[in-house]
Amino acid sequence: MRRKLITSLVSIALLAVGLLSINLALGYRPALGLDLRGGISVTLKPVGTASTASLNLAVERIRERVDSVGVGEPEIVRQQDAIVVNLPGVNDQEKALDLVKVSGKVYLRPVLQCINAPSAATSSSSTVAGSATSTVGSTVAGSTAGGSTVTNSSTSVAASVTGSTVTVGTGSPGPSRVVNGAASTDNGPALSGTATTSAPPTTAPPTTLPASTSDASSTTVASGLSTTVASGSPTTVAGGSSPTAAGATTTVPILVSDPTKTEYLRTRGGEVCQVGRSEGTGEVFEKDSARARILGAGWGVTVNLKTGRAGEGVWNALATQCYNASAACPTRRLAIQLDAEIQSAPSVNAPTFTGSVEITGSFTRKQAENLAQVLNSGALPITLQNVAVEQVSATLGKDSLRAAVISGAIGVALVLLFMMLYYRRLALVVIVGLCISGALVYSVTALISRFYNGVLSLSGVAGLIVSIGVTIDSYVVFFERLKDEVRGGRSLRNSAQRGFKSAFRTILVADAVSLIGAAVLWYLSVGAVRGFAFYLGLSTVMDVFVAYFFTRPAVLLLARSRFMSGKHVLGLDSAGDGAARVAGATS
């Protein structure tokens, strides 16, 4: 018995100290929410209804875009059917709103030509485009079994289709630098410099682009890559590409695409392709029909076509056009575009399709799953609307945090003082217990911020401060019980054991109610209430945990020790025995 108690006591102390020191050593600390450090929060909601899958995809897309500009510790979460994007440290509202502009709409566009960036192609292990083929049924296997590498196939495509682009890629300083610039945009928003160097395109050699002059086309490459071109040569941009692309963003390396015009887009593999007007959308596919699966030698995606003109009709018109390598689709490739980025551009291997389409190539499993997800979201696109935008100034946030911490500390100190006055030496258990709870809650919070992208906001801090009351209560319930038993004439040792048993029952019931409340709030609410509910629930669970593994052994052991001998240590007077008191009174 005694050994068990000591084991429990030692292990929880080790757990608390261990977790805390690991967190401190690795530098994990709770990430602070927007309201504590300033920044912008945008809440998005789909217009109409949207499936969970397409919302999740939208969250992922926003995360990619936010990561690409390097916002520190962003929080992007789906809460029921709303998406909350918290961008701490961001002050530019316009930039923030552009970052979250995703639609989930998929466009199918014929590829006119592609320029492959050598550095980008070698560095990107990602896609796809070149070697991917789409066919009906069994004809796939033979043609794609080899699964050629991205670099080879895509340069060969480029070479075979547009003879002079090879020289563009290697010889000419202008466009190739543009492409290099494109590759570097992946790393951050610092592309404005490269874009302007490439802006004067007059020396670029003519290319065999079908739709535009050399000036216009090479400039639109630049504008496609970085929208800062607008300042350099607005007229050519207006001629070659969509005007919205030039005007919309300033520092964010994100395209705003206009599917009704011929324009340049980047593929996920780092290629830059010129694509024609969108002649179909992802809505030609049946909803939720795209699946990633093993096809032939590698991963691929199958997706079903809707029947009738809106499905097979549109798709086959595009496919035939590309299969025949007509002027509108000289590369035979069909680009699948989502949010101004070409997700995949497979070559079309059959003129007509019935029922389903297979897309194969040297996909990894992840890439195939990603593409399937894109197709599924395109089949049922959502339009997101900004329903709430909040900007918190950094100083205001810092002040709130400081005030919360200071007043929280004073509050805890007052409570401990009260406990010491009331429970005398037993208050020692409360103090150590609070330290252990504190260390555990801190560690869990830090781990959650590290691995699950959660943040501690002002409402969370408030939830924690409130939970001090609840935590203290379990000690009070226990100690009052203990005093009851001692007053009843039992030995301290016996009282501690009996007292804990009945007190723990009460604590369990009361904490269960708190936990139900926290869980309901967490599931059914959005925004700040959620943070509050989470921390209330966390500290409630900790309360039960600490009560059983720390308070119980600590008090039981103390009750046996000489430290607690004599009733005065409980605040019961030494003459607290009934008979003595009555005698004193009647005399």
Retrieve residue 515's tokens.
Answer: 């936990």
Contact between 353 and 31 (Cβ < 8 Å): no
Residue 306 DSSP label: P
Non-local (6+) Cβ contacts of 347 within 8 A are 132, 133, 134, 157, 322, 331, 332, 333, 334
Angle ∠(158,276,161) on CA atoms, nearest 5: 20
- Cα–Cα dist 464/532, whole Å: 8
Contact between 256 and 245 (Cβ < 8 Å): yes
Residue 72 DSSP label: S
Compute how many other C-beta atoms are within 10 angstroms of the C-beta atom of residue 263.
Answer: 26
Q: Work out which of 166, 328, 447, 529 binds other proteins, going by CB under 8 A.
A: 529
Q: Which is nearer to other proteins, 1 or 25 (CB)?
A: 1
Window of 161-169, 197-205, 300-308, 505-513 that interacts with other proteins by CB under 8 A: 505-513
- Find the binding residues for other proteins in span 228-257 (CB under 8 A): none
Window of 62-70, 126-134, 251-259, 386-394 that interacts with other proteins by CB under 8 A: 386-394
Q: Work out which of 365, 501, 505, 568 binds other proteins, going by CB under 8 A.
A: 505
- Find the binding residues for other proteins in span 415-454 (CB under 8 A): 415, 418-419, 422
By the rule CB under 8 A, 25 interacts with other proteins? no
Give the total of residues touching other proteins (CB under 8 A).
93
Window of 190-198, 234-242, 369-377, 465-473 that interacts with other proteins by CB under 8 A: 465-473
Q: Work out which of 29, 78, 291, 490 binds other proteins, going by CB under 8 A.
A: 490
Residues in the chain: 587
Q: Work out which of 152, 466, 563, 574 binds other proteins, going by CB under 8 A.
A: 466
- Cα–Cα dist 397/408, whole Å: 16
Q: Which is nearer to other proteins, 38 or 253 (CB)?
A: 38
By the rule CB under 8 A, 512 interacts with other proteins? yes
Q: For the CB of residue 587, give the shortest distance to other proteins in the complex, in Å.
A: 10
Q: Work out which of 53, 166, 428, 462 binds other proteins, going by CB under 8 A.
A: 462
Q: For the CB of residue 97, give the shortest distance to other proteins in the complex, in Å.
A: 6
Residue 211: what are its φ and ψ, rounded to 5°? -100, -20
Taking each helix axis from N to C end, the angle separating 394-423 and 427-451, rounded to the nearest 10 degrees, works out to 150
HEC-encoded secondary structure of 291-304: EEEEECCEEEEEEE
Q: For the CB of residue 309, give the shortest distance to other proteins in the complex, in Å.
A: 36
Angle ∠(503,507,509) on CA atoms, nearest 5: 120
Q: For the CB of residue 10, give the shortest distance to other proteins in the complex, in Å.
A: 20
Q: Which is nearer to other proteins, 96 or 108 (CB)?
A: 96
104: helix, coil or strand? coil
Non-local (6+) Cβ contacts of 14 within 8 A are none
Angle ∠(548,553,557) on CA atoms, nearest 5: 160
Residue with tokens 């015009």: 261
Residue with tokens 């206009």: 258
Q: For the CB of residue 349, give the shortest distance to other proteins in the complex, in Å.
A: 45
Compute how many other C-beta atoms are within 10 angstroms of the C-beta atom of residue 10.
Answer: 11
Q: For the CB of residue 465, give the shortest distance to other proteins in the complex, in Å.
A: 5
Retrieve residue 84's tokens.
Answer: 């909350």
Q: What single letter denotes the amino acid at residue 480?
A: E
Q: Work out which of 13, 465, 541, 569 binds other proteins, going by CB under 8 A.
A: 465
Window of 204-212, 216-224, 281-289, 526-534 that interacts with other proteins by CB under 8 A: 526-534
By the rule CB under 8 A, 514 interacts with other proteins? yes
- Find the binding residues for other proteins in span 535-574 (CB under 8 A): 536, 571-572
Q: Which is nearer to other proteins, 22 or 403 (CB)?
A: 403
Q: Which is nearer to other proteins, 291 or 493 (CB)?
A: 493
Q: Work out which of 56, 428, 484, 569 binds other proteins, going by CB under 8 A.
A: 484
- Find the binding residues for other proteins in span 390-419 (CB under 8 A): 390-396, 399-400, 402-404, 406-408, 410-412, 414-415, 418-419
By the rule CB under 8 A, 289 interacts with other proteins? no
Q: For the CB of residue 469, give the shortest distance to other proteins in the complex, in Å.
A: 3
Q: Which is nearer to other proteins, 95 or 306 (CB)?
A: 95
Q: For the CB of residue 113, give the shortest distance to other proteins in the complex, in Å.
A: 37
Residues 59-88: x/- map of binding to other proteins (CB under 8 A)? ---------------------x--------
H-helix or E-strand containing 470?
Answer: helix 458-487
- Cα–Cα dist 186/404, whole Å: 39
Residue 563: what are its φ and ψ, rounded to 5°? -55, -35
Contact between 252 and 210 (Cβ < 8 Å): no
Residues 85-124: x/- map of binding to other proteins (CB under 8 A)? ------xxxx--x---------------------------
- Cα–Cα dist 159/174, whole Å: 19
By the rule CB under 8 A, 525 interacts with other proteins? yes
Q: For the CB of residue 481, give the shortest distance to other proteins in the complex, in Å.
A: 9
H-helix or E-strand containing 194?
Answer: helix 192-198
Q: Work out which of 489, 561, 563, 566 binds other proteins, going by CB under 8 A.
A: 489
